[in-house]
Chains A and B, each alone.
Chain A
Amino acid sequence: MNAPLQLNALRVEDLSVWHGQQQLVGGISFAIAAGGVLTLLGESGSGKSLLAQAIMGNLPASLRATGSIFLAGEHSDAADGSRRQDGWGRRIALLPQEPWLALDPTMTVARQVAETYELVSQSAPDQQNESLRQARSQAAASARRALASLGLEAAADKYPCMISGGMAQRVAFLATHAAGAPLMIIDEPTKGLDVDRRGEVLALLQAAQAEGMSLLCITHDVWLARALGGQLAVLQDGALVEQGGAEALLAQPRHAYTRRLLAADPARWPLPEVRLPCAQAAVIVEARELSKSFGEQALFAGVSARIHAGEVVAVSGPSGSGKTSFGNIVLGLLQPDTGQVIRAPDLPRTAFQKIYQDPAAAFAPAIPLRRSLQDLVRLHGLQWQALEALLERMRIAPALLDRLPRQVSGGELQRIALARVLLMKPALIFADEPTSRLDPLTQQEVIALLVEQAREVGSAVLLVTHDADIVRCVADRRLALSPAGQSVQ
């Protein structure tokens, strides 16, 4: 497949990861040409991070790997991780998930980058004594040049806690990249990022590729896979289901799982039938000239809006524009600086409900779900059967209720949270990034249920999401926030 003289940057043969006798990842084989890109696409739980760890050689002690790994043609047994550890930084690099956690919080950014130049890339330990100081200042200079090249000169003397997530990602990239490893493994670089940030990440990776680096990119983000191009492999439950050129594979997926995965991408969701603005429906809540700021920073000002029964309104705006605060003001959880919120007078307080980004945080963690829900049913004198019916519609098995919130998966818990909210016969549901922590397939399911059930009980939905595609697919209209003012589309 490749030119004979050009070695593969990475070749993996029959790689498996085991927990005891249980195979977590099985029989993976692939190769990345020098300067090439391979994207591993899969949901969380598909074993893609384990795969990355197995290749790096830093699997947790309870796991073991089998198979063969060829790094720039050099063979090593997959089980023998320590051999590849010697090449960390110099021959194989890893850009970790959530790079802001990967930077040492107590060290300035510049020193963390310089450290790689000093200790990893200058491989002359014998000369250290005579030129330790010199090496250090050279490394510092290289680090500053590198930071400047990515527009980070202002952040050089800052600590990780003082810089944004995007900057942290670039810093981590530089620290990883400094020793010039020809192969970089990138783990979920776009997790939780909004559109602009995703663009930055893509640019970074494309620049690295342009320098001749080989990339192994692990992601669940179909958009990124498409943008990076190169080779694509789809992973399901620890097994490769499909592999090929990205463009071709994305255009014509053969495997059913790949098809479902691609269909779950909000960009591919079916557009809803066009609905008229329900001006004739009753006004649930009216916001008049709302403004809010935190300290010096103004979030939004002069926002006025009416929300009618049964409509889905998406709140949009750049991050930091106060989307969550706006929703909380509408619910009455937060007081606006100026302006007022008028709720329909005949509605009880419990008619205004909220769905949270992290469903696990919205339940009392120490008591089983059943107890929480029973408490609610008892408090309002409701029928348990009504709840059971709701749960059935949410496709929740009753046995799940005997678990604690953290013992239930995010998608399931979000659906239970939805059932809990619907039980209150709400007039308005404020859904604050309800699916941003969920995998694409689950996300699609939860959003669909939310909209469908809300419409069924006639509840309005105030949806905050960073994903423009979701907005496009489900929202009846958009409410854009900005510090200057608002615009309704």
Chain B
Amino acid sequence: MALDRYFPSRKRRGLLALPALAVTLAATGWHKALAHGDESGHAHGSIAQADKDILTVVGPWELTGLDPTRSGYMFARMEVLETLLEVDDAGQLQPSLASAWSVSADGLQWRFVLRNAQRYHDGTALTPASVLACLQRAQARPGVLRLADIASLRLEGQTLVIVLRRPFGPLPYLLTHYTTQILAPASFDAQGNVVAIIGSGPFRIRSIALPQQFDVERVPDSGAGRAIQRARYISVSRAETRTLLVQSGQADLAFSLDPPSIRALQNSPRANLLSAMLPRTTILKLNAGHPILADVRVRRAISLCIEREGIARALLRDPDLGATQLFPPSLARWHEAALAPLHTDLPQARSLLDQAGWLPGSDGVRRRQGQRMELNLSTFVDRPELPLIATALQEEMRQIGIAVRVIIGNSSDIPAGHRSGQLQMALAARNYGNLPDPVASLLQDFGPQGGDWGAMGWDNQEVPALLAQLAAIPADSMARGNAERTRIVALLQAQLPVIPVVWYRQTCAVSRRVRGASIDPFERSYRISSLQWT
């Protein structure tokens, strides 16, 4: 029968309009009903242009907790929490909550003069006692303060006194680290757990939704002109998604962009790109205690098979990032231009392995006394380029007869593997600007027992000793340690407890809605307080 009879045209249109109507209802009404309370004041009509006055920052980092030892760096980057001291782009110490500092002649007693008349976000006074409490708490927890051998912490009026058992030059740098952030007393509950983030920076917390998002607003009466009044951090784990957020105008600042995204954003009408070389190096951490890797010839052979420039070009799109030595040029004091660069030489790599007794087997994998030359390489996905580099390394090592199994897991697998001794090789990115003075970081990495992100099973006493000497030099007379630094760099280059692969360039997308953006080479701050709306 005539099928058209089923729908008189009016009815047909009505039925077709029904889903459209319902979707519209769902988009507005539904959201209205369920929206978070703090946003209910917004108009619902404007879907894409919502939050015009909020600066949105996206990065891969999740807030794993409120405690400064967990996510303090995020609150520092959003300028909520502050430390006693700051550093400038050149790594020079700057006053922050402490206005001045000095050290006794024997290098054991440090004095930090605290600023007057500072207030926390909750309006309470920033008292010396509250600063002391925070530092004492930090000392009792895992963190950088443990690097210095602190005998006591005490107050003398407005002055904080730190007494050491051994001289430790980089101590002021430790007080720039996020694990030594200063929180208001109201931030802690009776057991000393952090229950709220109340700091003293130019922005204060508006709301936090662990683990993904938090909103901040400017403390009243700070910032002039068209300065940013509200900002929001959203954790977005996938690099593509971050890029899409920038492209769709939803994000104003996006960090940790992967190379393909950088290419995609280069001509974006919405955003500019900023980049800066960071003192971060992608390293191949080797277990020098492992029977295969104990032989320095094997470590050198591995280093010789790595096509650093090729990896930098193909995967980072910047051939200059090939790491010819551990420290990048941006760490001026530690980068030795005169050092013979690490290079690629497959024949030499093969002959080194031959010398070490590893001879090619029938399946292309080398053997020594019946043992196959097989190694595991652990890496993780927190940084998108790492699995790719691991894959490239796997193939390059296969070319010289080493069978590598890549294990892509979690970043915590590496410290865990380090401590359990199970780790064989790991690919990781190490930020030597974690503390503005690398000595403290190097002490963690190349100390007598090695470190989670540094040497492992490396039988060398000279480097720890040299580092200890460097640590004894006060922070403001760093120029003195040149000889030690040159020796350390040379030893690391020759012994290869970790094999440098590529250096790193931070690239950040900045929306054209704002101006005045810059990248902190030490990744301490997003500098949103100095941004202006255009």
Give residues in A with beta carbon < 8 Å to B: 58, 61, 81-82, 85
Contact = CB atoms under 8 A, between A and B. Distances in A.
Contacts of B2: 82
Contacts of B5: 82
Nearest to A82: B2
Contacts of A58: 1
A81 B1 CA distance: 8
A268 B50 CA distance: 88
Nearest to A60: B1
A81 B5 CA distance: 13
A481 B404 CA distance: 82
Contacts of A61: 1
Interface string B1-20: 11001000000000000000
7 contacts: A58-B1, A61-B1, A81-B1, A82-B1, A82-B2, A82-B5, A85-B1
Contacts of A81: 1
Interface in B1-56: 1-2, 5
B372 to A, nearest CB: 55
B3 to A, nearest CB: 10
User: Which 5 A-B pairs give the minimum distances between C-beta atoms?
Assistant: A82-B2, A58-B1, A82-B1, A81-B1, A85-B1
A85 B2 CA distance: 11
A86 to B, nearest CB: 11
A82 B5 CA distance: 10
Nearest to A57: B1
Interface string B383-422: 0000000000000000000000000000000000000000
Interface of B: 1-2, 5
A77 to B, nearest CB: 15
B335 to A, nearest CB: 79
Nearest to B5: A82
Contacts of B1: 58, 61, 81-82, 85
B7 to A, nearest CB: 16
Nearest to B3: A61
A480 B420 CA distance: 86
A85 B6 CA distance: 13
A52 to B, nearest CB: 16
A58 B2 CA distance: 10
A82 B1 CA distance: 8
Contacts of A82: 1-2, 5
Contacts of A85: 1
A53 to B, nearest CB: 11
A25 B5 CA distance: 28
B206 to A, nearest CB: 53
A61 B2 CA distance: 9
A20 B445 CA distance: 90
A61 B5 CA distance: 15
A177 B530 CA distance: 84
A82 B2 CA distance: 8
Nearest to A59: B1
B11 to A, nearest CB: 14
B104 to A, nearest CB: 91
A81 B2 CA distance: 10
A82 B3 CA distance: 11
A403 B5 CA distance: 42
Nearest to A58: B1
Nearest to B2: A82
B8 to A, nearest CB: 13
Nearest to A85: B1
A85 B1 CA distance: 10
A92 to B, nearest CB: 16
B5 to A, nearest CB: 8
A78 to B, nearest CB: 15
A33 B387 CA distance: 90
A455 B2 CA distance: 57
A379 B371 CA distance: 63
A58 B5 CA distance: 14
A61 B1 CA distance: 6
A304 to B, nearest CB: 59
A155 to B, nearest CB: 32
A324 B1 CA distance: 43
B1 to A, nearest CB: 7
B514 to A, nearest CB: 58
A58 B1 CA distance: 7
A167 B483 CA distance: 107
A12 B332 CA distance: 108
B4 to A, nearest CB: 11
B41 to A, nearest CB: 41
A150 to B, nearest CB: 31
A165 B91 CA distance: 93
A85 B5 CA distance: 11
A94 B2 CA distance: 20
A412 to B, nearest CB: 35
B233 to A, nearest CB: 53
A47 B33 CA distance: 62
A17 to B, nearest CB: 15
A81 to B, nearest CB: 7
A133 to B, nearest CB: 22
A107 to B, nearest CB: 20
